[in-house]
């Protein structure tokens, strides 16, 4: 562990000079000061911790007495705590993109999860710092921040390996618990070389996001399970802080602690987050700790925007600034009289993108919250911190109504200017329109007309959609609990009324698949695509279904289109490779698999496919090395372990094959293959008794191919054995 190690080394000579072992004068002349001056001061390490879905007001340091957050509270005690920090969107990707680009969503163009990758043209904080000589490393804990969405730009390492945490067959998980992420962070830190370049480290923890399932020990004594998740995350943060402290590195590190958005917890009729832009989801915690420049225990009362983080970090680290929308607050955070806060932009396009309602855009300034909506809203948080009394609802002649109207007009004007300035930066990621072939196909099926029909919700105020969100989340809960029929029953009438609820449509489709009704599923996926053509997951799913129907060209078009939407989609590349391989074009397939590995080296699947490709060509050494790579990422994967064992066997390394095959049988004891190949190894080693006993186990677990048994070369030594003959005859008779 080395954060700050080099800083320590540089300080040391001074200690010797001023201490009792002071060198004699001549040596002083020949050695010291000029050289020390010539050494550039080392840039400070930077640690950014983002805890997903974390409300500021559920932390002890923000006044929540029931909190169990001693480690985060400690950071606040030893650093500057921002009383009112504002997220630009209540959605993970847009908000994190603002943290690391200093731009609001209208400027960086990432407006939702999954469909808008971060444009390459934008310079991220990681790119900026890497350019300044930093080593850059990220650990994220949720699929929505996967590298294919582009936040990995500028990171030397981007750990988004969520799959090897789950069971052997489940490659895709949505989240990695904070303790697992922190294990990997600490492991990685302990392996850094000494001395090392200055470090920029981003750690993202996801646990407070629903579902709320904290370990029992963390939930103990907390008022809700949500608070239990926060307590759990706090413990993990404590491990990292302690590790840095033990290394003497903590005080040399700029530590930034924040979140991407809050959680509504039922306020305003919203259970979680994404639709509304009230304080419950837009206000986030923000703490900056850096003893060399920032005082301990200070509370910064001026509002701070998430876009201010990038320039402020650069300012604290004495790095040159870049052109962004945020401001460098490194001086303001220290100042006794900081300048007044700037207007704070927030938005949610989710009501529009997911429900076809109106989007929300808003502005906070001083104690005012203004929200642009079909029925606009204005709140005075000085007297109404919960934003429950819309001053624009006052009767026209009520006291204060005219003042409120003028205030709202001013803020609306300011909001327009802000959005326009963001647009002028002109680096916006535009969603791609439907390609002509798809439009033709959807039109032929009658789906396009449906999307063009006037729609029940168009322009509806998201405030009026609360009963709809409730129903949708209830249906999703049912589906998650495995009750697909009930989920479909609840969602179907809703879809007839609101045909462009694409997420609900996708959920129904998935349920239809689970209920064994692929035709109905396909129809739903196609309609979903007609409403939102930029869904990588839906495109891949449809392509897979077409592959199963032997419509290979149709499948290829889907996969290419997915790649068009998410150019870094390793899944799309693997599937394209698989198509080429099935079509007898191994060279093309290999190229796709290699491209997928390059796009996302932390994914085991491309290695598995590459291994299969070599294996089928009997290139066992190449196959083995590909499977070994997959195993490195997913050590408990059955297929990767088994195949590594089989390749080892095929290469004649019988002793090395055995432990691998045994390991595979431990990972999944219900499979016959490990025992079959163990039998092979034994037979080849001239141990007929052991071979036959392993074969019996394979048969017990379902192996039944007598022909294969007779053909298999490794069993030739057994051919004369009557027990072997009997076994083969028995299988043949079945």
Burial status of residue 618 (CB atoms within 10 A of its CB: 0-12, 13-18, 19 or more)? exposed
Mark the segment that binds Zn ion (CB under 5 A) among 52-60, 181-189, 479-487, 713-721: 52-60
Q: How far is the CB of 495 from Zn ion (least distance, A)?
A: 27
Closer residue to Zn ion in complex, CB, 260/347: 260
Contact 258, 285 (CB under 8 A): yes
Q: How far is the CB of 143 from Zn ion (least distance, A)?
A: 12
Sheet holding 377-380, edge to edge: 344-348, 360-365, 368-372, 377-380
Q: How far is the CB of 92 from Zn ion (least distance, A)?
A: 3
Closer residue to Zn ion in complex, CB, 92/528: 92
Judged by CB under 5 A, which of 112, 146, 229, 260 binds Zn ion?
260
Q: How far is the CB of 85 from Zn ion (least distance, A)?
A: 15
Instruction: Pick the closest to residue 146 from 537, 612, 544 (CA basis).
Output: 537
Q: How far is the CB of 53 from Zn ion (least distance, A)?
A: 5
Closer residue to Zn ion in complex, CB, 260/536: 260
Contact 317, 109 (CB under 8 A): no
Closer residue to Zn ion in complex, CB, 68/209: 209
Give just the sign of the alpha carbon dihedral 601, 603, 604, 605.
negative
Q: How far is the CB of 166 from Zn ion (least distance, A)?
A: 21
* Tokens 């969405």 belong to residue: 149
Judged by CB under 5 A, which of 69, 71, 92, 97 binds Zn ion?
92
User: According to the binding rule CB under 5 A, does residue 263 interact with Zn ion?
Assistant: no
Contact 82, 305 (CB under 8 A): no
Helix (H) or strand (E) holding 632: helix 620-633
Contact 84, 535 (CB under 8 A): no
Q: How far is the CB of 388 from Zn ion (least distance, A)?
A: 24
Contact 630, 637 (CB under 8 A): yes
Give just the sign of the alpha carbon dihedral 536, 419, 119, 45.
negative
Pairing mode of beta strands 157-159, 135-139? parallel
Per-residue contact flags (x/-) with Zn ion for residues 220 to 259, judged by CB under 5 A: ----------------------------------------
Residues with Cβ within 8 Å of residue 608, at least 6 apart in sequence: 626, 627, 630, 637, 639, 640, 643
Contact 357, 465 (CB under 8 A): yes
Q: How far is the CB of 165 from Zn ion (least distance, A)?
A: 19
Mark the segment that binds Zn ion (CB under 5 A) among 90-98, 275-283, 358-366, 528-536: 90-98
Judged by CB under 5 A, which of 45, 52, 267, 270 binds Zn ion?
52
Helix (H) or strand (E) holding 616: helix 604-616
Contact 237, 72 (CB under 8 A): yes
| Number of residues near Zn ion (by CB under 5 A) | 3
Closer residue to Zn ion in complex, CB, 5/58: 58
How far is it, in rounded angstroms, from Cα 688 to Cα 716? 11
Q: How far is the CB of 602 from Zn ion (least distance, A)?
A: 21
Closer residue to Zn ion in complex, CB, 87/357: 87
Q: How far is the CB of 95 from Zn ion (least distance, A)?
A: 7
Sites for Zn ion among residues 323-382 (CB under 5 A): none
CB nearest Zn ion: which residue? 92
Instruction: Please give the angle made by the CA atoms of 120, 122 and 125, to the nearest 5 degrees.
Output: 115
Mark the segment that binds Zn ion (CB under 5 A) among 49-57, 120-128, 630-638, 699-707: 49-57
Mark the segment that binds Zn ion (CB under 5 A) among 86-94, 537-545, 632-640, 693-701: 86-94
Closer residue to Zn ion in complex, CB, 252/260: 260
Mark the segment that binds Zn ion (CB under 5 A) among 24-32, 245-253, 260-268, 301-309: 260-268
Strand partners, 567: none
How far is it, in rounded angstroms, from Cα 110 to Cα 106? 8
Q: How far is the CB of 108 from Zn ion (least distance, A)?
A: 16
Closer residue to Zn ion in complex, CB, 205/683: 205
Mark the segment that binds Zn ion (CB under 5 A) among 24-32, 51-59, 399-407, 412-420: 51-59
Q: DSSP letters of 302-362?
A: S-EEGGGHHHHHHHHTTPPP-S-SS---TTTTT-SSPPPPPPEEEEE-HHHHHHSS--EEE
Which residues here bind Zn ion, judged by CB under 5 A?
52, 92, 260
């Amino acid at each position: 562990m080395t954060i700050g190690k080099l800083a320590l080394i540089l300080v040391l000579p001074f200690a010797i000079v001023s201490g009792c072992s002071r060198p004699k004068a001549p040596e002083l002349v020949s050695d010291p000061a000029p050289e020390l001056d010539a050494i550039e001061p080392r840039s400070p390490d930077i640690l950014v911790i983002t805890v997903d879905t974390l409300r500021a007001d559920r932390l002890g340091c923000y006044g929540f007495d029931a909190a169990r957050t001693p480690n985060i509270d400690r950071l606040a005690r030893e650093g500057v705590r921002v009383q009112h920090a504002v997220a630009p969107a209540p959605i993970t990707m847009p908000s994190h993109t603002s943290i690391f680009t200093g731009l609001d969503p209208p400027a960086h163009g990432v407006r939702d999860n999954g469909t808008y990758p971060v444009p390459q043209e934008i310079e991220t904080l990681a790119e900026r710092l890497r350019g300044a000589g930093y080593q850059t490393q990220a650990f994220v804990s949720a699929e929505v921040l996967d590298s294919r969405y582009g936040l990995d730009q500028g990171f030397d390492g981007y750990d988004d390996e969520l799959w090897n945490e789950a069971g052997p067959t489940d490659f895709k998980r949505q989240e990695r618990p904070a303790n697992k992420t922190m294990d990997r962070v600490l492991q990685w830190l302990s392996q850094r070389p000494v001395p090392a370049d200055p470090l920029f480290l981003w750690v993202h923890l996801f646990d407070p996001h629903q579902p709320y399932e904290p370990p029992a020990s963390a939930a103990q004594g907390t008022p809700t399970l949500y608070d239990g998740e926060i307590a759990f995350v706090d413990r993990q943060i404590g491990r990292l802080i302690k590790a840095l402290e033990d290394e003497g590195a903590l005080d040399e590190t700029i530590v930034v602690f924040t979140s991407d958005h809050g959680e509504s917890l039922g306020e305003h009729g919203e259970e979680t987050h994404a639709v509304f832009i009230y304080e419950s989801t837009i206000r986030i915690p923000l703490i900056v700790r850096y003893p060399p420049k920032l005082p301990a225990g200070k509370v910064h009362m001026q509002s701070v925007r998430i876009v201010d983080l990038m320039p402020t970090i650069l300012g604290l680290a004495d790095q040159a600034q870049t052109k962004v929308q945020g401001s460098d607050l490194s001086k303001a955070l220290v100042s006794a009289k900081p300048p007044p806060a700037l207007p704070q932009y927030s938005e949610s396009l989710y009501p529009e993108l997911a429900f076809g309602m109106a989007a929300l855009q808003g502005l906070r300034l001083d104690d005012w919250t203004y929200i642009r909506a079909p029925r606009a809203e204005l709140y005075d948080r000085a007297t109404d911190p919960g934003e429950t009394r819309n001053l624009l609802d006052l009767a026209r002649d009520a006291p204060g109504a005219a003042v409120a109207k003028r205030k709202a007009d001013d803020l609306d004007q300011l909001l327009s200017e802000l959005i326009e300035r963001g647009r002028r930066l002109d680096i916006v990621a535009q969603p791609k329109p439907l390609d002509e072939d798809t439009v033709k196909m959807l039109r032929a099926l009658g789906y396009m007309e449906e999307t063009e029909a006037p729609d029940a919700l168009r322009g509806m105020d998201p405030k009026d959609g609360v009963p709809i969100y409730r129903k949708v989340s209830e249906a999703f809960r049912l589906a998650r609990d495995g009750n697909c029929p009930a989920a479909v029953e609840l969602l179907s009438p809703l879809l007839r009324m609101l045909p462009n609820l694409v997420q609900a449509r996708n959920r129904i489709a998935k349920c239809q698949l689970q209920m064994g009704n692929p035709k109905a599923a396909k129809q739903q996926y196609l309609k979903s695509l007609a409403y939102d053509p930029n869904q990588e997951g839906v495109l891949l799913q449809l392509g897979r279904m077409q592959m199963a129907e032997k419509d290979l060209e149709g499948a290829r078009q889907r996969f290419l289109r997915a790649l068009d939407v998410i150019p870094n989609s390793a899944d799309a590349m693997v599937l394209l490779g698989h198509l080429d391989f099935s079509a007898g074009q191994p060279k093309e397939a290999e190229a796709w698999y290699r491209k997928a590995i390059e796009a996302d080296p932390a994914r085991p699947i491309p290695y598995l496919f590459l291994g299969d490709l070599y294996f089928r060509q009997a290139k066992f050494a190449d196959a083995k090395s590909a499977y070994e790579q997959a195993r490195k990422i997913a050590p408990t994967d059955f297929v990767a372990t088994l195949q590594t064992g089989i390749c080892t066997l095929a290469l004649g390394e019988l002793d090395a094959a055995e432990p691998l095959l045994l390991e595979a049988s431990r990972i999944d004891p219900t499979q016959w293959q490990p025992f079959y190949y163990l039998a092979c190894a034994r037979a080849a080693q001239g141990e007929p008794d052991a071979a036959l006993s392993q074969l019996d186990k394979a048969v017990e677990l379902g192996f039944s191919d007598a022909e294969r048994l007779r053909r298999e070369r490794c069993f030739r030594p057994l051919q004369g054995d009557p027990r072997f003959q009997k076994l083969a005859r028995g299988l043949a008779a079945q």
